[in-house]
Amino acid sequence: DPAFFVEKRAGVGWTVNVARPMGKVAMALTALLIIGTIVMVVYASTSMKVNLQIREQVVTIKGMYSENIDRKDIVELSFEKSLPPIAVSSNGGAIGNKKVGYFRTKDGEKVKLFIEDDKNPVIKIVTKEKTIYINYEEKEKTETLFNELKDLKDK
């Protein structure tokens, strides 16, 4: 049959005629689209890890939404039990418990998040220009980072 769409052999409906060259192309493109989507989701979820370094006077967060925070710019540093309620993403991504980028809280405050697990405690850094929240999947790792940041701020 030369048609692109043909009736299903069993049941009701139509399907792509994969016996024809255009049908094979359509099925190959569909498979590539599905595989590409899976690869992008896996890459996005693995690239949402917090990559933070403390050097001399500067805290550097690397990644898609990189950030450099000078020690002198830190106005407030605190260890919070939880993230404030988030209303919407303004320029960020969220997959599962991970959130990275710019978000708005339910109070309307614009915040920048580097969150690996939104159920765990977070570090809140308030600078002259913005509020940043950071945490790791492991609570102990977040506590260690908080102590390192506190030592840096107190220098």
Q: To the nearest whole number, what is the mean pLDDT of the chain? A: 92
- φ, ψ (nearest 5 deg) of residue 73: -85, -10
The answer on 38 and 93 residing in a single domain is no
Burial label, 54 (beta-carbon count in 10 A; 0-12, 13-18, 19+) = middle
Asked if residue 45 has pLDDT above 80, the reply is no
Whole-prediction pTM: 0.74
The answer on 65 and 25 residing in a single domain is no
What confidence category does residue 70 fall into, taking pLDDT thresholds of 50, 70 and 90?
very high
In the chain, what percentage of residues exceed pLDDT 90? 73
The answer on 96 and 33 residing in a single domain is no
Tally of domains in the chain: 2
The answer on 31 and 12 residing in a single domain is yes
Identify the pLDDT of residue 28.
96
Range of the domain at 150: 51-154
